[in-house]
Structure 1
């Protein structure tokens, strides 16, 4: 069960809070719709519940707040808007990266791709996905941890009716298996048709909290939806004929060419339009929200209500009109096919759960079983062959027992409407959950960071470009006889503040945190955030290894290119090669870490690159002027003196490496880099680092 108690967002300047003392609950085994118009605070309420936004109130997921849940992705699956992923990453790569963050095997990604019908698009880039495929991928990401609760923010917005029917079918299946489902919507009819319970809010406050049947009975009325270029003229004719016949007919004009008629039917409206020569583009009988009493005038001259915002889903029908429950409205006439984006007529919980035919009214519904969320087989995208249906038996979870289904659920599972034809492939199975082992320990952030780093082509482009640019500069520098060999191998001319290897490493480090904030894949993972200590250590380790490999590859390639072009005799091996290797490695790794920490502090990759360039351009001259001069004492012989005092004793060969490190720090760039890393690390720790044993 999901319980939200006293949710209140932080007040905005000179404006009331978006959510004000909101309290409701979503029960297991039911689909709960959080209904409200645009700007009513639905999305803010979800973010408050998930701890993604500051505010007051508490939310319990099966009796525990989210921060006390050991494995949040196993408790809550989240879909907030579009899939937050790098557009150049593949669909399979995105899911496998999230599998590493969730601590589940990578094979789970392939299972879910097959479940949501994206196996044919597994190698497709995220930036090339359509809106419907993006929703399927988002749902697969929400189901990675096999969660008990699904929280979705307007999941059907912007997708086709078939895709929406498929998605609502998956939600119904998850609830039937004992899970809890909460989604937001602005569509009143969709809420009444697809949800078991409706929580309506307006301006951040609770307006109604009732089951779907009671909501439809008290908040919806049968009406005739008309689309015509002469909406005002037709409304006037309907009002005139209703006044002559002493009948009550109410009309609401919306968006200029849409007309909703209450108190009439398709036959009467169609005959009126025919008699007066009014062209109709759409004529259908449906169930929709009642008109606002304050904006609906009584029959008479000028009695037509022209309100472009007349979608009052939360108003009680006026006295004297019989409200029709959800699923009772019948389609009397539909002269044209409704355009995409318009809701289909309200049907009896049109949920795509089974391929059984609709039974006649009064016949007992046969017992129906449901498929677990991990074993859903959905219709693939258009143009691909439907995968063969399979079922998987899963052992029951240690704490999850699905409640018995209600008669309404059984009736919903056996009904089928034209809107659900796009959901073929969903098959029934025993409602048992699969217990999945969640990996713990330091390997989770390391595996995540490796998949994040290698899953986009920008990493290979940055590394390849760095090696090629360094080799070209090395050849140009080698032409001059006065260029020292180390300078030529490092490809570090005086015109550049840093060698290409250091700049490339800084770019890799800056992207490590910059992509986390630009494409926040972890923001909805709940168990992992960019400011976790474990994730920081993993990024430091992976970035350091990548920078070291880059330094070695650049040095080897530059040396071989110089030998190939100018001959090996011109490239002698210096005596202090050990100190040069330490200096070179420290410079490249330090620049990579500077870019990483700066991007983490300022939450932008550009800030990381700027911090790397600021080391030789701004900080090094200041350090050189403040710390270095003719009166400064030398630290020669320090490694030997430290070795005499240290315990345990290290071998004398280590003195050369320590002496090389000291020589690096003695350089202005080395001292400036060490100072920058210290300041950036302190800033990162002081700006909200969160400790978590899971990461």
Structure 2
């Protein structure tokens, strides 16, 4: 049973459906990425999931409707753009008020601040937080109730490379400890390093969803080569039952042959290779292929 599941989510604005029958699930121990272009309906979908927008459909957390929990914040933690609160409130005071509302001990605040790495910012006012610090503070707020599920909208926005790596590791650790994470993002390279599952949205609907394992299996592996003699290499590859697709003047993608066979074949024929590496299909390639199909049907 997934920790988070949504069925038939739908929302209309001025007679136009911006979310249309979205159903998805997030299993225990996984990170699911919600991908799509601007206007695809990702943020509205997350708001519908959390009951922050009126619409159709149902959301289940740990097998129960979200509204059926006495204190939803102890089941689901959400970050929808930094931390909400009065800009003149100090961070520790703000989190203490949130903890009180969740019914958790006030001592939890300092523990979460240490976990998120914001001990030195505890006395700063919310209005003084940088964008990156506000993102961390939002995550601290979401974690106060020790939820099993995290929902985050564009959590990498405004973060420097060090903070991005920190957040990626934090979310991975949360999932590996038995939690479930659903996040939207435009940074496909980061999603490639983090996600276990992908849901692609287009025009308010789910265009595709798959596990990373399925994406890799269906697309298979390919070899990227770099050589100044791609013409000779292409002929040799085709003779051995493979296919070479040029990427630019010296780089090409080879399917049907593994890198060892290509290396031996090139050595035997005296074809110089500057680079030879094997790659799996990436989430970025999967997303772009789905987006291209959706665009072509418009």
Residue in structure 2 matched with residue 122 of structure 1 by the alignment: 122
- Change beyond 3 A, Cα 1:222–1:138: farther
- Once the two structures are TM-superposed, the CA of residue 148 in structure 1 deviates from its matched residue by 1.2
Q: Unmatched 5+ residue regions in structure 1?
A: 225-237, 252-260, 266-284, 292-310, 318-695
Q: Which deviations, in whole Å up to 9, do the C-alpha atoms of 1:647-667 show, x marking residues without a partner?
A: xxxxxxxxxxxxxxxxxxxxx
Taking structure 2 as the reference length, what is the TM-score of the superposition?
0.75
Residue in structure 1 matched with residue 4 of structure 2 by the alignment: 2
Of the candidates 243, 248, 252, which is equivalent to residue 245 of structure 2? 248
Contact 2:82 2:136 in 1 (8 A): no
Contact 1:222 1:287 in 2 (8 A): no
- Change beyond 3 A, Cα 1:242–1:44: farther
Residue in structure 1 matched with residue 166 of structure 2 by the alignment: 166
Residue in structure 2 matched with residue 399 of structure 1 by the alignment: none
SS of residue in 1 equivalent to 2:14: coil
Structure ranking higher in helix proportion? 1
Taking structure 1 as the reference length, what is the TM-score of the superposition?
0.34
Separation in structure 2 between the aligned mates of residue 222 and residue 160 of structure 1, nearest angstrom: 32
Residue in structure 1 matched with residue 202 of structure 2 by the alignment: 202
Q: Unmatched 5+ residue regions in structure 2?
A: 236-243, 255-278, 294-298
Contact 1:79 1:142 in 2 (8 A): yes
SS of residue in 2 equivalent to 1:105: coil
SS of residue in 1 equivalent to 2:112: helix
Contact 1:198 1:211 in 2 (8 A): yes
Are residue 289 (structure 1) and residue 290 (structure 2) matched? no
Indicate the RMSD between aligned Cα atoms, in angstroms. Answer: 3.1
Task: Please show how residues 200-279 of structure 1 align to structure 2 within 5 Å.
Answer: 200-216=200-216, 218=218, 248-250=245-247, 263=252
Separation in structure 1 between the aligned mates of residue 193 and residue 218 of structure 2, nearest angstrom: 14
SS of residue in 1 equivalent to 2:25: strand
| Structure with more contact order per residue of length (Cα contacts < 8 Å, sep ≥ 6) | 2
- Change beyond 3 A, Cα 1:215–1:288: closer
Separation in structure 2 between the aligned mates of residue 3 and residue 146 of structure 1, nearest angstrom: 19
Residue in structure 1 matched with residue 86 of structure 2 by the alignment: 86
- Once the two structures are TM-superposed, the CA of residue 250 in structure 1 deviates from its matched residue by 4.4
Separation in structure 1 between the aligned mates of residue 29 and residue 167 of structure 2, nearest angstrom: 17
- Once the two structures are TM-superposed, the CA of residue 135 in structure 1 deviates from its matched residue by 1.5
- Change beyond 3 A, Cα 1:63–1:190: same
Are residue 314 (structure 1) and residue 290 (structure 2) matched? yes
- Change beyond 3 A, Cα 1:288–1:30: closer
- Change beyond 3 A, Cα 1:263–1:316: farther
- Change beyond 3 A, Cα 1:152–1:168: same
Contact 2:82 2:137 in 1 (8 A): no
SS of residue in 1 equivalent to 2:56: strand
Contact 1:221 1:287 in 2 (8 A): no
- Once the two structures are TM-superposed, the CA of residue 219 in structure 1 deviates from its matched residue by 6.7
Contact 1:151 1:182 in 2 (8 A): yes
Structure ranking higher in strand proportion? 2
- Once the two structures are TM-superposed, the CA of residue 181 in structure 1 deviates from its matched residue by 1.3
Separation in structure 1 between the aligned mates of residue 161 and residue 111 of structure 2, nearest angstrom: 25
Q: Which deviations, in whole Å up to 9, do the C-alpha atoms of 1:414-442 show, x marking residues without a partner?
A: xxxxxxxxxxxxxxxxxxxxxxxxxxxxx
Contact 1:89 1:125 in 2 (8 A): yes
Residue in structure 2 matched with residue 12 of structure 1 by the alignment: 13
Contact 2:4 2:60 in 1 (8 A): yes
- Once the two structures are TM-superposed, the CA of residue 243 in structure 1 deviates from its matched residue by 12
